[in-house]
Structure formats: C-alpha cells, structure tokens
Amino acid sequence: MARVMHPVNARLDEHLPTDHKLSQVYRVGAGLTGVLLVVFGVLGLIHRIGFFDTGGDTVLALNTNGALSVLSICFGLLLIIGMAIGGTFASTLNIVLGVLFIASGFVNLALLDTGLNFLAFRIPNVLFSFVVGVMLMWFGMYGRVGSALPHDNPYWRARHPEQAAREDRARARKAV
C-alpha cells in the first residue's frame, strides 16, 4: 500500500545540497522575476492610479491600477526572499507561483469584459501572466523533473536510491 501511495521514493521538497549548481538557477529565476514585478508595481504606484481604477492606465505597456501594483510588489518581494533563501525553497516557490500566475491568467481572461475585473487586466496582462508563469515553472523545475536527469543529480539519486548505491559502489571499486 505504501508503494501505491508514494510510487517514487522521493518527495518534491527533498533538500538540495547548499552548494549545488542548481540552486543558482532557482535563485536567478526567482530574483529576475521578483525584480521585474517590483519595478512594475512601484511604477504603478508612482503614477498614483486609483486602487481599483479600471480606467486603462498603463505602465510598461501593461494595464494596471493600485491593487495590481500592490499585488505585484508583494509577489515580487516574495520571489526576492526566495532568491535569498535559495535551494529547494526557491525551486518550490518558483513552481507554486508559476502555477498561480498561469491560473491568474485564465481567471482574468474569463473576467476581462465583466464588472469583476477589479485588477484592470487586458489581453497583454493575461499574456504577461502566462509568460511569467511558464518562466517561473521552468526555472523551478529545471534539473528537478524530467526523464533525462544525469545520475549525479540529487533529485535523480533520491528517486533511484538502489541504482545510485550500485553506481557509488562501482565508482568506489574503480577508485581502489
């Protein structure tokens, strides 16, 4: 029954060694996206647009209002915190926020021409949300999921402990 509940012998939150090169990928992805969102949010607040104004004010070719600016700053700061922590936390944060950005794109696409569009989304905002979501997911999953991970990858090793142990024993015999 345990094999059915956990078919892979690893969890998504397995810890990555602190000095592993994959941590830099996760940090760069979180940091660049976080800075982009903070800049967008700050520029939106500087323009003193109403908090729930849907009048069509644009910043960096995207429609915005005060609520969207504040949300952008919050998510950007969260990503910057993820960059500072790094490792598996940054990777998982990138994946989760990537899924949220894609979901937000779909939800706001459905709300475009309704009175419920309180974040003042337009089609460019929806596309931006999709692009940022896919980019965050790519950065978060890089080197973590896939069918062709190298055998020295810590995630591959966690998923295939028997084969990793055999390879370690074979390497140890060659070294002697």
Q: How far apart are CA 91 and CA 110, in angstroms?
A: 29
* pLDDT grade for 10, boundaries at 50, 70 and 90: very low
Q: How far apart are CA 122 and CA 62, in angstroms?
A: 8
Per-residue pLDDT at 174 exceeds 60: yes
Average pLDDT in the 26-44 region?
A: 91
Cα separation values, 108 from 69, 72, 90, 122, 141, Å: 15, 15, 26, 8, 25
How confident is the model over 78-110, as pLDDT tens digits?
999 999 988 888 889 999 999 999 999 999 999
How confident is the model over 148-166, as pLDDT tens digits?
777 777 777 777 889 888 9
Higher per-residue confidence, 22 vs 93: 93
Shortest CA distance to 62 belongs to which of 100, 36, 31? Answer: 36
The b-or-e profile of 37-52 (16+ CB within 10 A means b, else e) is: bbebbeebbeeebeee
Q: What is the DSSP letter of 114?
A: S
